[in-house]
Structure 1
């Protein structure tokens, strides 16, 4: 069984303590990774501090070139990264390849944004006391950043933290998900080939206790966390004075007020509800359909679901792979059964084989059921009719989360009503809430998060504005 070392300042480090990584599909061990102790964490922080002294003064062209080199090196390792994600995360191989391609493009975007990340000239001669004065406002890097990443996008969500951090001149320490650290470590090896200051990137699989110590450490200027709301808000509470951004979960809704784009809608709804076994923070969990369209949509939706292939993530045709572990599969199965016992009607699915739960659709649900009220993070969707569009918006807002919502409509008034009244971070018109383009601002409200990702927006989060006032008398 292969052993993967952790990386401290782009250098491999072997430790005595190991973590065995299991395949979510076969539930067999696939490799082991070295775990950081307090000693390795201390060294990573020290080299990050040292790297910051160089990186914060690096010219834009040097940072942009480094980001482009990372993009090219990831491209060379595309199939290795995709297969690793399929094996350790249970991500269907076709989707894993898409994730690698997104990572390649994301670093290219970051390289371009590095060249555009300037400042502004502010005229200050607005009254007699400020004659012959002008301001220059520019953003500066804030220091070493701690990124904690989840299992569901083990490559691209690391990229969303590393790329903007390097773009503005901040070193990064990544604590990857314990279920999927191999992808992160392979990515770290790729970055180690790039001409960056030693300490620009460390990848540290470690225990929860040690991760919390890093969160509390004032030498790290920022925590950027992607994961569950429960963990994210807890970490914010112990983070002290450091800056914090949280990209958390949700129970994303799709509102269907028109079937004009029915073929496209069905294709996208199937994808958004079930791809990667629903283990996506903007996976469609709730569908609200205008009552006169409900029967037509539902019949076609259920027929389409019958064509979905579930199972082995290495099978090119599989859309729904396994849940990340037995505990996750048990939880999803329990919530579905609880809903049925509470009066919900099972329209399709409910079947389980190992950690694979087949696409499941429920109706006659109530808002307080866990399948609606909490983030299920599984291939389960509820469908309910609505009469008036405003009623549908209220149904969407009846949630502790607020990440993204998709709306299919032909009515411009409905578009702006939704935009003005939905308590979410993003409103997606004539597409699913699962839509995300990596450069766009991305983040939620309520329990779904704090701050924004998306290259340029993350660069702003990872930097601090500073004003220069000049009296040119």
Structure 2
């Protein structure tokens, strides 16, 4: 494994004088060093992106399709390396790191296919007298260089969700990766840089926060896309000026249990949704609302399963709950649990420091909580689930909506009217019926409302966000 990773500047590797040391959150061992971009590298990357756009926006579809397929195949070829880096620098259990790599390869393949369908539409103009002998073409055009700031929890796939659609429509892109997990993004940048894309199409620039903010403000950047915390995301949106902005932010996702018809599947999925990757997923289950007649049965079986969750080393194939990304995050999760207990909540299991790592908190279940407790009202982003009963289904919907967030919600029910009531009344970007809110298929539209963000990702939908419609009215006789 290499120890020094040059940044990617306009498709080229470049070492700088400043380095960032990346350490594994589980055992604090050094994973590697990455070159940090300074003002000169930032300026050159933007200049090259502007120049590349003049070529990339006219690149024929078949070439973009071929390039995206090449990237997909290269990701598969380097899958073991990528998965291990994800597990080391981000603490994601290796089993889920491998899934992330596989998803990323598929995502680029889907982007390649979507380039062939992203052609626009014919608009009939002869619907009235003045439109006789006329036709319209509505086509979407790339808007220009894209800046993407990406998080640590999916250091490969959430980068790909910005890079693949940008390249599919003909936009160059600059990635500012999380300082906790920059190596994964750099390797993806290397893979993309080895294709026939014009120089300047891809840059991966680990850098200090002030320089990232400077890029957000730069008028040469046509679009800014961000995945991360609501506080940072909404602040940067204000700084972005007139450019296009999409934000994929946090949540405190709820799971409503209206039926135990699929109990074994429900319990299996709820364990994954609440505790995999230590709950560091924007759509991780944080709140469970269960019909009061089902409460005792569900709670006991859920706790029994939580007690058996494998916890610890992310390189162990059996691990589900690994470390949080750093000690300060683990400290906050622990403090919020203790604060809830002090205010009357009952800690039924977990919530303890793990003996092997200060960044590991054992999977926790809380009940007797109130909506104003931080474990309910804010985003824990840790292995914590609260469980509370409800009487009427409408109450569960209201309890779910009692949040500043609105990303996704899950509903287990065998009542079709309840399924559609949830769909019509939940204030979220996605309603998942008979599965957990943590479900995401990469082609589907994904995004939230309220404090959870604006805009949508998912290949086709991100391509729409990254383009501008232009209409042609043609008189042919």
In the alignment, is residue 415 of structure 1 matched against residue 419 of structure 2?
yes
Q: 141-150 or 192-201, which moves further after superposition?
A: 192-201
Q: For residues 83-232 of structure 1, what are the structure 2 equivalents within 5 Å? A: 83-232=84-233
Report the equivalent of 1:378: 382
Q: 2:459 aligns with which of 451, 455, 459?
A: 455
Distance across 1 between alignment mates of 2:389 and 2:256: 10
Displacement, 1:29? 2.4
Report the equivalent of 2:14: 13
Displacement, 1:67? 0.3
Report the equivalent of 1:396: 400
Report the equivalent of 2:433: 429
In the alignment, is residue 442 of structure 1 matched against residue 446 of structure 2?
yes
Report the equivalent of 2:472: 468
Displacement, 1:10? 1.4
1:420-455: CA deviation from partner (whole Å, max 9, x where unpaired): 100000000000000000000000000001000000
SS in 2 for 1:355: strand
Distance across 1 between alignment mates of 2:447 and 2:193: 30
If the length of structure 2 is used for normalisation, what is the TM-score? 0.98
Displacement, 1:271? 0.3
Q: For residues 14-33 of structure 1, what are the structure 2 equivalents within 5 Å? A: 14-33=15-34
Structure 1 vs Structure 2 CA RMSD: 0.7
Report the equivalent of 1:244: 245
SS in 2 for 1:327: helix
Distance across 2 between alignment mates of 1:423 and 1:70: 37
Report the equivalent of 1:253: 254
Q: 187-196 or 88-97, which moves further after superposition?
A: 187-196
SS in 1 for 2:394: helix
Report the equivalent of 1:52: 53
In the alignment, is residue 321 of structure 1 matched against residue 322 of structure 2?
yes
Distance across 2 between alignment mates of 1:228 and 1:104: 26
1:325-375: CA deviation from partner (whole Å, max 9, x where unpaired): 011000000000000000000000011121000100000000000000000
Q: 59-68 or 128-137, which moves further after superposition?
A: 128-137
If the length of structure 1 is used for normalisation, what is the TM-score? 0.99
SS in 1 for 2:270: helix
**Unaligned regions of 5+ residues in structure 2, if any?**
none
SS in 1 for 2:436: coil
Displacement, 1:127? 2.1
Distance across 2 between alignment mates of 1:334 and 1:125: 66
**Unaligned regions of 5+ residues in structure 1, if any?**
none
Distance across 2 between alignment mates of 1:416 and 1:37: 52
Displacement, 1:128? 2.1
Displacement, 1:50? 1.0
* Aligned length, in residue pairs: 473
Distance across 2 between alignment mates of 1:327 and 1:40: 31
Distance across 1 between alignment mates of 2:60 and 2:382: 45
1:244-289: CA deviation from partner (whole Å, max 9, x where unpaired): 0000010000000000000000000000000000000000000000
SS in 1 for 2:290: strand
In the alignment, is residue 355 of structure 1 matched against residue 359 of structure 2?
yes
Distance across 1 between alignment mates of 2:369 and 2:85: 38
SS in 2 for 1:174: strand
Displacement, 1:231? 0.5
SS in 2 for 1:267: helix
Displacement, 1:471? 1.0
Report the equivalent of 1:77: 78
Distance across 1 between alignment mates of 2:289 and 2:109: 38
Distance across 2 between alignment mates of 1:302 and 1:339: 18
Distance across 2 between alignment mates of 1:288 and 1:453: 28
